[in-house]
Amino acid sequence: MAKNKSILKIEGSLDGMTFYKTATGHFVRTKGGISKDKIMRDPAFARTRENMQEFAHVTKSSSFLRRSIGGNLLKAKDNRVSNRLNSILTKIKKLDTQSARGERLVGNGITDPQGKLLLKGFDFNRHAPLWQVLLKDFVLDTQTGVVSITQFAPAIDLNYPEGSTHVQFGLTAVQLDFTTQTSEHTQVSGNILTLDQQTIDVHLSLANLPNGNGVLLYLLLIEFFQSVNGTYYPLRNGAYNVLHIIEVV
């Protein structure tokens, strides 16, 4: 695979070469290669088949996780979130010590404490990581599903984008069973706060917690708005919003 640096940017096939575009640029590769039938049958490609099977499982698990957090993802994500999440889940899958190669599962790997640590701290919008936006410490009680930020001054304790006038916090708890591909979730949204220096205590309290099987994820959402004549408009379609996995239990 080679990167196409010419001024002529085309997509498709030409003279035995395939031109294509990705999020990271324009690339070109030659046609041909090993047939799919040989890869799927030849014993020499056993490792390749194992890798393909596990890769398919990881992408399915990644899609399942993204679907499970619902509309929150539409409010805060970047164009590489799928690939970045696939990379994390691949590392988690490798922690499965129960299954044979080619059959390792994310659901087994996530039961390892290291697997939970790998997923904790994931930002769905790499352009707005939590540590860069929220400058105040918060406390999460995983037993009650409560997040608290004391003595919070929005204009001081946030790095907020130009043009924004208000902010809102949200808390979501999602129970994921990667084995059965089933999930439960509950969420709460706080009051919309003016971006000023007035101090306030922020409390986000979930009415109840999911009680299904699998791991429990807590996600913190930070949304920015611009107020015009009493109406709150999302700022630049969520380009500055935060969606962060603050804990995995």
Domain boundaries along the sequence of the chain: 1-33, 36-115, 130-248
The structural architecture, per CATH, of the domain 130-248 is Sandwich (2.60)
CA-nearest of 222, 81, 71, 233 to 160 is: 222
| Angle (CA) 217 151 140, round 5° | 15
Place of tokens 């993802």: 73
Note down pLDDT in tens along the chain; length 249 residues: 555 555 556 566 655 667 777 767 776 666 666 656 655 565 555 566 777 888 899 999 999 999 999 889 999 999 999 999 999 999 999 999 999 989 999 999 999 999 999 999 999 999 999 999 999 999 999 999 999 999 999 999 999 999 999 999 999 999 999 999 999 999 999 999 999 999 999 999 999 999 889 999 999 999 999 999 989 999 876 788 999 999 999
Give the global pTM: 0.83
Contact 230, 115 (CB under 8 A): no
The CB-side HSE value for 230 (13 A sphere, CA atoms) comes to 0
- Give the integer Cα–Cα distance in Å for 151 and 136: 9
- Give the integer Cα–Cα distance in Å for 203 and 190: 8
